[in-house]
Structures are given as structure tokens and as C-alpha cells.
Structure 1
Amino acid sequence: MNELQALGAFAALSQETRLRVVRLLVQAGPGGMAAGAIGAALGGATTSRLSFHLTHLEHAGLIQSRREGRYIIYSAVYSALASLVGFLLKDCCQGHPEICAPAVEALTCGCDLALTESA
């Protein structure tokens, strides 16, 4: 990720609703969520307002959409989110890994990988 892409991603995330949408989609997993379910989870966001925010996030490359029947399903683009975090932490250690240890620990997934690998 370059600086211009990072700026676009951070600009998209700097708005409360869009940040909530990304966090919601990260929690939803790769299967994503239908637009209506996202709106309901956000407390009944209007269709036009939600569409505006989803489009903004999709243009920033942080989410993607796909059509399933009559529904549009949105999901997080985990590689883009990882690239954004990587952009921030790329040069953090400067030869001192203990500096970055708290940030790396915060990124540790709470998932039980042994369970997900066998599923």
C-alpha cells in the first residue's frame, strides 16, 4: 500500500458510520452481510445514506460487494485492511522489536485457528 492509498483508506474510515460498517463486516467474516442487515445492525440507517457510505468504502478498497440473487452482499477486504496496518507499522521497530510488540499483540486474532483449520 502506498501513501495515497493509505490516505484514501483513512479518509474513508474517518467517518463514524463507515468505521462501524467496516468493523461490522470484519466481525461478519468472509461471508459478509446483506446491505439490509448492515442497515439494521446500524440502527436502521436509511437506504440512501447507507448506500453512500458503502460506496465510499468500496471505492477506498476496504470492502467489496457481490450479488447473490436479489441481495447485494458486502464483505471486508481483509488484505486491504492488513495492508493498511502494515503501512502504519512498516518501519516501527528500527531494530528494536520490543517497540512494536504491543501493536503486534493487539493484532492477534481471538480465533481458535485449530478449530477453523479442521472445519
Structure 2
Amino acid sequence: MSVDDEQVIDVLLIEDDQETLEMYKLKLEKDGYRVHVAGDGEEGVRCATELTPDIIFLDIRLPKKDGFTVLEELRGQESTSDIPVIILSNYGEKELVDRGLKLGAMEFLVKAQTSPIVLSEGIDEWLKE
């Protein structure tokens, strides 16, 4: 379940689509993760700064601030600069993937190819890197 079974892992999901958000949130909570959610980019930066979660899943197309702007801001703040960020997007074009990785995302996943199970099972590995 977690890197250390005695410590609950905090996950922040920054996603504006309610159905997608609920799908991933339900699976992660079922697997024992404490899940926090943000529905837009501004709220995502605020939550990340206040909570300093263990890992962040970030959509690209968000209201108020897009995911790339969010990622840049997180990387520019001392308190959030080292938090693993996994981009989770409907768009997987090479230029978007390259941009996300260049800005400091650990990985870029396409939602259509990433089930909640894959996301949940990947957390331990991403936290080890």
C-alpha cells in the first residue's frame, strides 16, 4: 500500500473533470492513500503549498491556471520543489510530453491508457525515485 505501512501517503489530485477525479480518488482511498483534491490550477498550487503532499497528479487543461503553469510554480517554491509530480492528461502529443518533462514532471501519463489501478500501483515506485 505505501512506502511505510505505518505512514499514510498524502496524494493531491489536481483535476477539473469530476468523473475522472472521483474515479481515481475512490481507488486511491480504497488502497489506503489520503487523497486531497483541487478543481483548478490556482486551488492546486494553494493546496500543494499548504499540504505539501507526498505526490501530485496534475492535469494539463485546467481552469484559472493550466497544468504547466502550476508545475512551474511548484518547482519554483522551496516547499514544493521536490514533490513528485505525475502529469495525467487527455493529451499525449510529443510536444506536450516533452514540455511537461522539461518543466520537472516525473512522468507524463495519458488518462485513456492509465486506469486507477495503474495509478495506485505506481505510487510506491514513483516515491522511491
TM-score normalized with structure 1 length: 0.28
Larger strand percent? 2
Structure whose alpha-carbon radius of gyration is higher: 1
